[in-house]
Amino acid sequence: MEQNMVQLTIDGRGVSVPAGTRILDACAAAGVRVPTLCHLPEVSSNASCGVCVVEVEGAKSLVRSCVQNVGPGMVIKTNSPRVQESRRTIVELLLANHPADCLSCARNGSCELQALSDQMGVRRLPFPRTRKKPGLDDAGYSLVRDNDKCILCGRCVAVCRETQTVSAIDFAGRGIRTRVSSFMDRSLANSQCVSCGQCTVVCPTGALVERDETDEIFAALADPDRVVVVQTAPAIRASLGEALGMKTGSLVTGKMAAALRRLGFDKVFDTQFTADLTIMEEGSELISRLTNGGKLPMITSCSPGWITFIETFYPSLLPHLSTCKSPQQMFGSLAKSYWAEKAGVDPSKITVVSIMPCTAKKFEAKRPEMRDAWKWWKEKGKTYGSFFDVDYALTTRELARMIRRAGIDFELLPDEDFDDPLGASTGAATIFGTTGGVMEAAVRTAYELVTKKPFPVMELQATRGMEGIKSAELDLEGTKLKVAVAHTLKNARAVLEEIAAGKSPYAFVEVMTCPGGCIGGGGQPVAVDQKKRATRQKAVYEEDKRLPIRKSHENPSISAIYKEFLGKPLGHLSHELLHTEYKRRDV
In the annotation, is 551 catalytic?
A: no
Which amino acid does the sequence have at 85?
E
CA distances from 207 to 38, 346, 534 (A): 14, 41, 27
Q: Report which DSSP code applies to 44.
A: B
Residue 282 known to be catalytic? yes
Annotated active-site residue 369? The verdict is yes
- Which of 322, 326, 333, 552 is flagged as catalytic? 322
How many C-beta atoms lie closer than 10 Å to residue 411's C-beta? 12
SS3 content of the chain, % helix, strand, coil (to 5): 45, 15, 40
d(CA 94, CA 558): 55
Which one of 267, 325, 336, 361 is the catalytic residue? Answer: 361
Around Cβ 548, how many Cβ atoms within 10 Å?
7
Measured in whole angstroms, the distance separating CA 179 from the mean position of its chain's CA atoms is: 25
The 3-class secondary structure across 142-172, one letter per residue, is CEEEEHHHCCCCCHHHHHHHHHCCCCCCEEE
CA atoms of 364 and 369, how far apart (whole Å): 10
Respond yes or no: is residue 285 known to be catalytic: yes
Compute the distance between CA of residue 154 and CA of residue 199 in angstroms, rounded to an integer.
Answer: 10
Burial of 484 (0-12, 13-18, 19+ CB in 10 A): buried
- Does the active-site annotation cover 302? yes
The reported pLDDT for the residue numbered 1 is 44
Which residue of the set 210, 285, 311, 510 is catalytic? 285
Question: Which domains are assigned to the chain?
Answer: 5-79 (3.10.20.740), 104-112+124-210 (3.30.70.20), 215-578 (3.40.50.1780)
Which residues does 104 contact at the CB level (< 8 Å), separation at least 6?
A: none
State the CB neighbour count (10 A cutoff) for residue 433. Answer: 33
* CB-CB neighbours of 4 under 10 Å: 9
Catalytic-role residue among 282, 398, 440, 543: 282
The active-site residue out of 57, 85, 316, 369 is 369
247 is catalytic: no
The C-alpha atoms of residue 484 and residue 293 are separated, in whole angstroms, by 20
- Tell me, yes or no, if 324 is annotated catalytic: no
Q: Which of 555, 547, 510 is nearest to 273 (CA)?
A: 555
pLDDT of residue 518: 97
> Active site includes 364?
yes
3-state secondary structure of 267: strand
Contact indicator for 448, 551 with CB cutoff of 8 Å: yes
Which of 364, 398, 510, 543 is flagged as catalytic? 364
- With a CB cutoff of 8 Å and minimum separation 6, the contacts of 70 are 6, 8, 17, 19, 21, 22, 23, 26
Using alpha carbons, list the distances in angstroms from residue 192 to 221, 308, 586: 35, 9, 8
What pLDDT does 383 receive?
A: 84
Beta carbons of 297 and 507 less than 8 angstroms apart: yes
533 phi, psi to nearest 5 deg: -65, -40
Q: For 5, phi and psi rounded to 5 degrees?
A: -110, 145
Annotated catalytic residue: which of 302, 324, 358, 514?
A: 302
Q: What is the DSSP string of 106-128?
A: TTTTT-HHHHHHHHTT-----S-
Q: Which of 38, 199, 518, 552 is catalytic?
A: 518
Within 13 Å of residue 257, how many CA atoms lie on the same side as its CB? 18
Report whether 271 contacts 231 (CB < 8 A): yes
* Sequential pLDDT tens for the chain (587 residues): 457 999 999 999 999 999 999 999 999 999 999 999 999 988 988 889 999 999 999 999 999 999 999 999 999 999 999 999 999 999 999 999 999 999 999 999 999 999 999 999 999 999 999 988 999 999 999 999 999 999 999 999 999 999 999 999 999 999 889 999 999 999 999 999 999 999 999 999 999 999 999 999 999 999 999 999 999 999 999 999 999 999 999 999 999 999 999 999 999 999 999 999 999 999 999 999 999 999 999 999 999 999 999 999 999 999 999 999 999 999 999 999 999 999 999 999 999 999 999 999 999 999 999 999 999 999 999 988 899 999 999 999 999 999 999 999 999 999 999 999 999 999 999 999 999 999 999 999 988 988 888 888 889 999 999 999 999 998 877 788 899 999 999 999 999 999 999 999 999 999 999 999 999 999 999 977 899 999 999 999 999 999 999 999 999 999 999 999 999 999 999 999 999 999 999 88
Cα separation, 571 vs 162, in Å, equals 42
Record the pTM. Answer: 0.95
Please name which of 299, 404, 312, 317 lies closest in space to residue 360, comparing C-alpha atoms: 312
